[in-house]
Amino acid sequence: MDRDRAVAAGLWSALDLALRQGVQFLVSIVLARLLTPAEFGIAALVSFFASLSIVFLQGGLSMALVQRRDSSRAEESAVFWLNLLASAVFALLLIAFAPAIAQLYRIPILVPLMGLAAAQIVFAALGAVQTALLSRQLRFDLLTRAGVFASLVSGAAGIAAALEGAGVWSLVIQLAVLAAMNSLALWVVSPWRPAFAFRMRDLGGLFRFGFALSLSSALDVIYTQGFALIVGKLHGVRDVGLYNRAQSTQLLPSNVIGSIVGRVAMPVFASRSDDRGALRRGIRLANGLTMMVNVPVMTGLMLLSDLVIRVLFGDQWPAAAPILSILALAGLVYPLHIINLQTLLAQGRSDLFLRLEIIKKTVGIGSIIVGSLFGLIGLAWSQVAFAGIGLAINALPTKKSLGYGALKQLRDLGGIFIAAAIMAAVVLIVRPLVHSAPLIELLILTTVGAATYVAAGAAINGPDFRQAFDLAGQTLGRINNWRSRDVAR
């Protein structure tokens, strides 16, 4: 797999995630101004059960197709039909248990909402194989078209429902329409179609790899979204909504940055898994490029969380600001988690991946339980503690196989952290001098911070910054070449 193809895939992946998640985030901003924190909290409860079912059923086998360099149509079709059948079973189970869940939280509306969430599970299954195959082929341009179309249609549906007074229904409608439209678009842009056959033996090694990964994905959802169950029971759905908004805001840039590299790293690393030197250099480059963006963004969220919350969501959400500030600290090293895990999966070690996830998520779920006892702030600080523990666990296989553990990775990123610290100091000095409307103040401080960070990076002139500047120059050169060819035509 040549470098140009990987760079092109990275650009399309960046566009896909930026547009798709950007549209969804913009929709959430509009909905946050139309709905209450309590309604977001109820939707978070519903989303937890739907997300858990989707990743457990589809995450493992679909990722197994990505990891495979080649797969037969029989194997791909078996994955499709098994996903669809299992999704229908899980959807029926969710409907059956909805009354008990509603009674536990004393929220009757959960019963019909769970029915719509059940439909979302089946809708998502219809496009899972196409997503996996297009990802393996690095056809993120097609995934971009499907994802953006689905995000726009579902966003319009959610906002229209909210304007009509649908309340919490608008949030669940948005998720169901998103899954349906994304699968529909994937069937349009992808030529793949399942064969009308289903044999368990066709799953073969895919099932062994995928089952372990499914359990890992389910544990991740329990860890990342399970707070809704505990906080909702202990403190009420309003607190669930506040924490959900803060977490979603913090995760948006981290997920975009981490997922861009994750999407490209899995196929690229898998193609070089037998070359330890190339794999280590790839990890080093991926770490530098992602952290160079993630660290200053998370630092900015830590310092300016109150302005971010007020500007984005309005006056209903100020209590989410301190939560966002703490969660941003936990998100500083998030891309490193993704890259180390992708390295492990690229080597085909889903068994080790599962063992690490069980250990890590057991600790993480325990931290959520303990942190929740101390309210939302205690829960947020528990994530900071776990971020460090989780990185040490995720990087352990990389240390053993490549001699490149968490401490060496962080040491190589020293220049980035120094530049971010200089940026933070300048912003803290300038902020008391700025007196304006929240939006203007946020724009001024963001501009000052970004300029300081770039200047500090240029002065430090570390390898990460040099690589980033070189890659930016190469990318701009390619774009100019593409434009020149288009003009010539």
In a domain, 370, yes or no: no
In a domain, 310, yes or no: no
Tell me how far apart the terminal alpha carbons of the chain are, to the nearest angstrom. 28
Mean pLDDT of 430-441: 92
Domain count, the chain: 1
Worst-scoring range by mean pLDDT, 72-76, 113-117, 249-253, 466-470? 466-470
In a domain, 433, yes or no: no
In a domain, 436, yes or no: no
Is residue 43 very low, low, confident or very high in pLDDT (cuts 50, 70, 90)? very high
pLDDT value at residue 479: 42
Are 23 and 41 in contact by the 8 Å Cβ rule? The answer is: no
Q: What is the pTM of this model?
A: 0.76
Which comes out higher in pLDDT, residue 202 or 135? 135
- DSSP for 84-99 reads HHHHHHHHHHHHHHHH
In a domain, 481, yes or no: no
Worst-scoring range by mean pLDDT, 15-24, 435-444, 465-474? 465-474
Which comes out higher in pLDDT, residue 361 or 100? 100
> Tokens at residue 391, please?
């990185």
Residue 379 burial (CB count, 10 A): 27
Q: pLDDT digit string (tens) for 324-349?
A: 999 999 999 888 888 887 777 766 66
For the four alpha carbons of 263, 268, 272 and 278, in that order, the dihedral sign comes to negative
Does the pLDDT value for residue 487 go beyond 50? no
Mean model confidence pLDDT for the chain:
82
Q: pLDDT digit string (tens) for 270-322?
A: 555 556 667 777 778 778 878 888 999 999 999 999 999 999 998 889 999 99
Mean pLDDT of 167-190: 94
Residues spanned by the domain of 166: 1-225
Q: pLDDT digit string (tens) for 225-253?
A: 888 888 888 888 999 999 989 998 998 88
In a domain, 471, yes or no: no
- DSSP for 368-420 reads HHHHHTTHHHHHHHHHHHHHHHHHHHHHHHHHHHHS--HHHHHHHTHHHHHHH
Mean pLDDT of 12-26: 74
Which comes out higher in pLDDT, residue 201 or 308? 308
Does the pLDDT value for residue 255 go beyond 90? no
Q: What contacts 488, CB < 8 A, 6 or more positions away?
A: none
Please name the amino acid found at residue 478. R
Does the pLDDT value for residue 150 go beyond 80? yes
Please name the amino acid found at residue 423. M
Query: To the nearest whole percent, how much of the chain has pLDDT over 90?
Result: 39
Q: In this structure, which long-range contacts are made by residues 276-285, counting pairs with CB atoms below 8 Å and at least 24 apart in sequence?
A: 276/401, 276/402, 279/343, 279/346, 279/402, 280/402, 280/403, 280/404, 283/339, 283/340, 283/343, 283/398, 283/402, 283/404, 283/409, 284/404, 284/409, 284/412, 285/467
Cβ-in-10-Å burial (0-12, 13-18, 19+) of 348 comes to middle
Does the pLDDT value for residue 400 go beyond 90? no
Does the pLDDT value for residue 116 go beyond 60? yes
pLDDT value at residue 285: 77
In a domain, 117, yes or no: yes
Is residue 6 very low, low, confident or very high in pLDDT (cuts 50, 70, 90)? low
In a domain, 145, yes or no: yes
Query: To the nearest whole percent, how much of the chain has pLDDT over 70?
Result: 79
